[in-house]
Chains A and B, each alone.
Chain A
Amino acid sequence: MTNAFEGPVEPLAESISQRLELLRGGSPLDVVLSGADPETAEHVALAVDLARILPQQPDPVFRAALQVRLQTAMNAPSRRTFGAVMATWVKRATPRLAGAILAVGLVAGSAAVAAAGSLPGDVLYPVKRASEEARALMIRDSAGRVHYRLAQADERLDEIQRLIERGVPITPEVVDALLALRQIALDESRSASTAVQKDVEDWSASRHDRLVAMAVRADSAASEILLSAAGVLVTRFEAPMPGSQQPGRGVAPIRLSSATPRGRAQATSSLSPTETPPAHASQGATATGAGRTPTPTATAAAAQVTSTFLPPATAVNTAMPQPPVELTPGPGDDSRIDPVRATALARQTRTVPNTPDAGSVQNPAPPTLPPPPAEPTSGG
């Protein structure tokens, strides 16, 4: 069977391919099909349909979490082998539940309320995460989605804090959830205003500080995980490039988390400027792949795939009805930031052009949380 296709190109096959190529080039369908025999036209039309309906996007949480996983694995290959990464991969049960919760509507509301205070490992925790995701689907404006994701990430941060207080060992999965949500916010913010982007930056800087502060107080195992996560927050958060002339780009990738040793004494040294290239020289230059691409968001990336032949289908969440959105806001409690660390960070992350004075890092304005819904509990 295979060999039959390795022979010369059949005329019809060539004709179909050429017409599809024209479509890829942007020619309208009717022009492309003009003069085509019926069979060619049928096949081209079928191909056009396929190109429109087949592309699928991964779940955005999965998408972001996998990126975090991969980059973490690269950052610290010695500590966490690929096998370990696979073994500890966060099973994505929670987002998948979102649809189910949506489907049963407010019946699930009571469960969600009961689950609101749950922690990772609790029976009701998946319900909490799922109802969060269900709500995320209902936010129309991108600024709202960014702030919602940050608030979710804050919720993860609070959970980590409470786990530590309970003496529960911190696992990479818990931290990955936090990083994944921040990643989504980062991606989403690219299509939002610069003020929103600034919110994400401020949030990242401030939560980095808080993670470091938590790490300093935690036991060494948890400390390592928290510092690694903190490192991801700042390696992803870089200053804009002042210009496009960036000699030596890519030479000195920032690998904070691999340079982050165990223990609190060394934790401090890992934040010293000597171990970190100057922000303006390479941070901005080799900035993360964290969505800083021509196709930063899941939607845009999907458009890239979908639009191979034709304009993409409209993104799902822009067409969702808008039921009430209710969110347990994150603490926004910056008082827990260790001022010493914050100052160190101010030096490290803020020595860039066009940034506010370093003092603002100690108390960055918390991002505006999504406005509370008009009717938090009534039917949608």
Chain B
Amino acid sequence: MTDGDVLPAEERAHGDEGALVARAQAGDPRAFGELYQRHVDRVYSYIAFRVRDTAVAEDLTQEVFLHALKALGGFSFRGAVAPWFMSIARNAVVDHWRRRSRRPEDSLSSLESDTDEEESFLDRQGITEGNDAEDRAEFVLTRERVARSAIHLTELQQQVLALRFSSGLSVKETADAMSRSEGAVKNLQHHALKALKRKLGE
């Protein structure tokens, strides 16, 4: 009886987004709103990791969904929507840096954590068990540190890291979002992790 019942049972059960896409393409704003709800967090998370600026991330997130709205008619659903949204997000970030015309090494946050050591970073695995303010502060610091280290990775490596771990896509979804093979994503992921680990240790 609650609002959760408004989706067709099959859509709820199987997460079938094909019907939602069809409805959105037919002009149903609520269907597109539903798609938005499902994917805005991963889109935002990808962008926020890549640009490290909340205001810019919000602007780009809006751009992504406005673009998606415009491009909706030409989108052909093939099993998942996430790769489509994420490919738009990927391009939005690329375009953003292109507009800026240079990489942001000098726009880094001044949050310094050079005293941290790689070991402590890896040891921090358990911190989600707690939920107090201190842990959250460490979260932000660590994310900041990862983001700064990730700048030194290649563009593709950064994309894979962000798609896989900031947005939580599967290897297949990541491959679709990047228009690459799954094997390529696996290799990129490996090299990205390796490079990031090295950077974090510096």
A interface residues (Cβ-Cβ under 8 A, vs B): 1-2, 4-10, 12-14, 16-17, 21, 24, 42-43, 45-59, 62-63, 66-67, 69-75, 82, 85-86, 89, 92, 96, 190, 194, 197, 235-236, 238, 240-241, 244, 246, 249-250, 253, 255, 284-296, 298, 301-302, 304-306, 308-314, 316, 318-319, 321, 354
Contact = CB atoms under 8 A, between A and B. Distances in A.
B181 to A, nearest CB: 7
Nearest to A308: B168
Size band of the B side of the interface? 35 or more
Closest 8 CB pairs of A and B: A289-B34, A289-B33, A287-B6, A314-B131, A13-B190, A308-B168, A288-B30, A50-B165
B22 A241 contact: no
A262 B52 CA distance: 43
B87 interface: no
A292 B162 CA distance: 27
Contacts of A194: 1-2
B131 to A, nearest CB: 3
Interface stretch (B94-102, B103-111, B117-125): B117-125
A59 B66 CA distance: 18
Given A46-B197, A311-B128, A313-B128, A5 B188 contact: yes
Interface of B: 1-9, 12, 15, 19-20, 22-23, 26-38, 40-42, 44-45, 48-49, 54-55, 57-58, 61-63, 65-66, 69-70, 121-122, 124-125, 128, 131-133, 136, 139, 142-143, 146, 154, 156, 161-162, 164-168, 170-171, 180-181, 183-184, 186-191, 193-194, 196-197
Contact of A319 (B132, B143, B164, B168): B132
Contacts of A57: 41, 44-45
The winner among A24, A58, A197 for most chain B CB atoms within 10 A is: A58
Nearest to A85: B66
Given A6-B184, A82-B66, A89-B62, A16 B190 contact: yes
Contacts of B31: 250, 253, 286, 289
Contact of A48 (B69, B125, B139, B181): B125
B37 A67 contact: yes
A56 B167 CA distance: 9
Given A66-B61, A289-B35, A304-B168, A17 B6 contact: no
A45 B193 CA distance: 10
A70 B55 CA distance: 18
B28 A253 contact: yes
Nearest to B41: A301
Nearest to A315: B131
Contacts of B136: 313, 316, 319
A292 B7 contact: yes
A287 B3 contact: yes
Contacts of A238: 6
B27 A16 contact: no
A55 B22 CA distance: 29
A37 to B, nearest CB: 13
A14 B188 CA distance: 11
A53 B33 contact: no
